[in-house]
């Protein structure tokens, strides 16, 4: 891993690394509003299997966000006001490309549908690249939404996993450089780490990061939960089904089977699940406005007020998460509790038709509240 030619590596300084990690938080988060929107558009009491599959993935994205924050803190990252999770461009303006720079598909906020689940599979798609090859494909400079590859604006990562592979390569190389200089890349205060006592059962184990080994472990969990461990397997190192295949189950209406004792030879092959069948009722879904914006809601309507309330609650949620990452780990659990309230607010919106638009229901808006000018 450390033998790769230096010119293939994009992360050459700790500042590069920190930018990549902030971008990683942006990527992890960018998937949450789409997953939440589809999830809550399902009518209560229906599509239970699909609901739990999407929910499980969304919860793991929260874990990933937290793991990245741990790596960021471990290498001395700090959270300045209006940066990171609270930067004006932290939440993509949906529909949007993923912040990996990939521009072959866009992610939007839509109801639970076959099309939506297909997009979710693309988000979680995998592609494995040999260690001695570059991870980004050259592409023409085009409309550019995200500055994360700011250093390499003409390149993009095909998958989220490859983006992390770049970070892992960078970490190894920087760690070696620092050691040779007699310095420690992992200079962050361990008290800023989110440790298991501050993180409860949210999609896997939280890993406190204090050195290169724990950093790699944390990032590997993210890669593998998303994509599985190699191209021809459906499961990750924890023997859990990779996200892409979890979503595929919804489209096929059938579960994959993983043999936990002998996963390699006895588990299902990709695209050939053999588990229990389940029913997906694509109609038992609220007909919500896709990629809703505040301007979709009439002035003075309750729907508009509720959408604004949701937006504020979401901003507050991110504010609290950032505060907990910024040296106050004990604030994380109450902040995550706030997510449950967001669910109720989202549900209320989605069950209400937009006044003057029969047959189209409201949907939550994910924006950071702009500081008021007054």
Partner 1 sequence: MIDINSPEFEYFLNLSVVLTGFSRFHLQGTGVAHLYFETIRDILGEELFGELLNIFHGLELEKTEQSIFSDRLRSEILASEKFGPITRNIIKVWYMATWYALPLSWRDVFGTKEKDRTFIISPQAYPEGLLWTAIGVNPPGAKGPGYGTWSEPPLVSLNQG
Q: Which residues bind partner 1 (CB under 8 A)?
A: 43-45, 200-201, 302-303, 306, 333-334, 336-341, 344, 347-349, 351-353
Q: Closer CB to partner 1, residue 157 or residue 199?
A: 199
Q: Closer CB to partner 1, residue 44 or residue 153?
A: 44
CB of 371 to partner 1, least distance (A): 23
**CA torsion, ordered 343, 344, 345, 350, to nearest 10 deg:** 90
CB of 306 to partner 1, least distance (A): 7
CB of 318 to partner 1, least distance (A): 16
Tokens of 349: 């919106």
Q: Closer CB to partner 1, residue 81 or residue 300?
A: 300
CB of 313 to partner 1, least distance (A): 10
Q: Closer CB to partner 1, residue 36 or residue 242?
A: 36
CB of 226 to partner 1, least distance (A): 24
Q: Closer CB to partner 1, residue 84 or residue 332?
A: 332
């Amino acid at each position: 891993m450390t033998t790769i030619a230096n010119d293939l590596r994009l992360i050459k300084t700790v500042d590069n690394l920190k930018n990549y990690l902030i971008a990683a938080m942006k990527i992890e988060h960018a998937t949450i509003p789409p997953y939440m929107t589809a999830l809550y558009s399902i009518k209560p009491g229906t599509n239970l299997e699909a609901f739990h599959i999407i929910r499980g993935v969304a919860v793991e994205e929260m874990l990933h966000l937290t793991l990245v924050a741990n790596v960021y803190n471990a290498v001395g990252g700090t959270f300045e006001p209006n940066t990171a999770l609270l930067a004006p461009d932290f939440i993509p303006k949906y529909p949007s490309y993923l912040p990996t720079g990939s521009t072959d598909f866009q992610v939007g906020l839509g109801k639970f549908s076959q099309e939506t689940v297909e997009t979710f599979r693309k988000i979680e798609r995998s592609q494995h690249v040999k260690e001695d090859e570059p991870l980004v494909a050259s592409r023409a400079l085009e409309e550019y939404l995200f500055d994360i590859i700011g250093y390499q604006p003409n390149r993009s990562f095909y998958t989220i996993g490859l983006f992390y592979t770049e970070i892992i390569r960078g970490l190894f190389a920087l760690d070696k450089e620092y050691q040779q200089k007699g310095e420690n890349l992992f200079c962050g205060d361990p008290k800023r780490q989110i440790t298991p006592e501050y993180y409860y059962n949210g999609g896997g184990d939280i890993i406190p990061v204090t050195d290169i080994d724990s950093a790699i472990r944390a990032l590997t969990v993210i890669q593998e939960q998303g994509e599985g461990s190699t191209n021809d397997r459906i499961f990750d190192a924890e023997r859990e089904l990779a996200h892409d295949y979890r979503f595929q189950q919804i489209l096929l209406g059938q579960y994959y089977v993983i043999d936990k004792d002998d996963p390699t030879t006895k588990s299902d092959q990709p695209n050939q699940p053999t588990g229990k069948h389940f029913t997906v009722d694509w109609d038992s879904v609220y007909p919500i406005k896709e990629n809703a914006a505040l301007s979709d809601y009439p002035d003075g309507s309750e729907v508009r007020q509720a959408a604004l309330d949701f937006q504020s609650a979401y901003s507050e949620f991110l504010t609290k998460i950032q505060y907990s990452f910024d040296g106050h780990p004990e604030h994380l659990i109450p902040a995550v509790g706030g997510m449950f309230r967001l669910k109720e607010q989202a549900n209320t919106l989605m069950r209400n038709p937009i006044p003057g638009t029969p047959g189209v229901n409201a949907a939550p808006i994910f924006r950071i509240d702009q500081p008021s000018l007054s």
